[in-house]
Every structure is written in C-alpha cells, then in structure tokens.
Amino acid sequence: MGIEFNAVQFLRYATKKAPLGNVATLGRLSLDIPEGRLRTLLPLPANYKHEQFADNFLRNQFAAKSVESFDNSPYEGANHIADMNQPLPIQFPQYDTILDFGTLEHIYIAPQAFKNLSELCAKGGQILHILPANNLCGHGFWQFSPELFFSLYSSENGYRDTQIFLADISQEKFWYRVSPPIHGQRIELDTWARLYVMCRTVKSANASQENIQQSDYLVRWADEKPEAAKPAPIEPSAKARKKRPVRHDSITRSIDLMRYLCASLKGDLTTRGQHPSITKIPIESLL
C-alpha cells in the first residue's frame, strides 16, 4: 500500500475537484515512486526530502491539513489501530478525504471495510480508491470490478459524482474512463493487462449500504416476467460429444498474444469486442 505513479496522478486529478482537507488513509501509505520520477510529475522544491511514508508528502505537495492512518497493526506507526474486518471500535472524527491506495484487497470482510470508510468520511467528503482489478491474482484476497463501485456508490445509496477509471500498470500515458452500465449491459473485460481500478466518489448524504445489487440483474428483474419451469436439459450421448469441435488452445493463445503485443505498442487496453462504456483518455488531459 503506497503512492506510486498512478496514485500521484490520481491525487492531482482529485485535488482539482476538491481540496484534500483532513485526510484518513487506510494503512500508512509509503512513497513507492522514485524521487527522480516524482520530479517529472510535480514541481518539487529544491529542499524536498523524499521520505519512507507519505504523510508529509500529502501535507506539503497536496496541501492536506492533516494526515492520520488506520491499520490493524502498529508495526508501521499508524495513528489508529483498528481491524477493518470489524465495526469501528469507537466513534472517530470524520475526515474530508479517505485514501485507500492498495489496502482493501487485503481485508477479508470487504463490505464491512467499505462501511467503515464511509463512516469515517464527512458529508461532502471524498473517498478515493486504487485497487487491483485484473491479472493480480494472489496479491490479496480480492480483485475489484467497476460494477461494484457503480452499485455501491450510487445516488440511491447517498453518494454522488462517482467516477471510475482503469489503469494499465504497463502504461503511463493513458487511463480508461468507465461509464456506468446502461440497459443491463455488463462491462466485462477480457484482457492480458494488469489493471488497477480507480474510483472517486463524494458522500452527499447519510450513506447506506443495505441494498447493493448487480445492475444487469436489476434490469432483468424489472423487465422480465417469470418464466415457467423448464425441463432439465438432456445430457448428450458419448457419441454426440465426440462430434464437438476441438478447441485449438495453442492457436487461440498465439492469437491473443499477438493482439496483446499489438495493443501494447499502441498503448491500448486489450479487450475482446467493443466496449462503449470504456473510453481511452490521455492522463495529462485530465490534470
């Protein structure tokens, strides 16, 4: 959990929307970007000191009024010790900005952690997430879909201005803006790229997380009439199964590899088919 290239850029983007104010971080954030690379992104002063943790970085470079961290262990010197798998043990003060830059995927009871972060966020405050979305299996317990954030941080649940981007870890020039799913269409990605999902939302009212359903099912439940029970399908005979075409996995993998290499050279996200909900955007155009 720390601040790397995409986190710096996302902070630049978010602070154009609203100042950080008083900040709470999930885990104590480390500075995981080299100083030389950081100087190409921000106008650092000559006396800038590159530290292990990002507390002073957030204060000095992004004008945070205060920075307090929450962790399950004191091993990195967090300000508050709390297990996010459980309800918050006491009533903490509320913060203007909540930063979850690579922690929630390590928390088993993710719904409780989301609820805790919302409780820590003041009305009108912002919550920022950067979490693994694809091809980072084994990094933590979870990888997250844009659908989760659209369903969770909806206006019906007391949030507004929810924005979601995907970042290909191998690319530093483009993000992919994700629009909310419409007409029951899923935003499904079949890609070789390692992706982060980045979300910014604003808590506009007393937030609720009691009714979160996947959007395409909500459309189906609203539009479709219950169907009569259908008989169970008949299992094909062994002779019929032999007639099924054999998938040429080596050929399929070779084609996918060529698609990935060609897309990588162009800085594109490798997906199958067209995704009208995903728009490639130069990062600098957002800053």
187: pLDDT confidence band, cut at 50, 70 and 90?
A: confident
Residue 175, pLDDT score: 94
Using only the alpha carbons of the chain, give its radius of gyration.
Answer: 22
pLDDT at 246: 45
* 158-167: average pLDDT: 95
Other beta carbons within 10 Å of 178: 24
State the Cα–Cα distance between residues 179 and 55, nearest whole angstrom: 32
pLDDT of residue 160: 95
pLDDT band per the 50, 70, 90 thresholds, residue 117:
very high
Distance of CA 258 to the CA centre of its chain: 28
What pLDDT shows up at residue 287?
93
Q: What is the pLDDT of residue 209?
A: 81
- What is the pLDDT at residue 216? 74
Question: Is 170 a residue whose pLDDT tops 60?
Answer: yes
The mean predicted confidence, pLDDT, of the chain is 86
For residue range 70-83, what is the model confidence (pLDDT) as tens digits? 999 999 999 999 99
Say how far apart CA 136 and CA 139 lie, in whole Å. 6
Q: Are 198 and 145 in contact (CB under 8 A)?
A: no
Could you tell me if 203 and 121 are in contact, meaning their C-beta atoms sit under 8 angstroms apart? yes
Determine the CATH number of domain 2-218: 3.40.50.150
Please determine, for residue 228, whether its predicted confidence score (pLDDT) is greater than 80. Answer: no
Pairing of strands 121-134, 195-203: antiparallel
Question: pLDDT at residue 58 above 50?
Answer: yes
Q: What is the pLDDT of residue 245?
A: 46
* Sheet containing 195-203: order of strands: 80-81, 66-71, 22-26, 95-101, 121-134, 195-203, 159-168, 174-178, 278-282
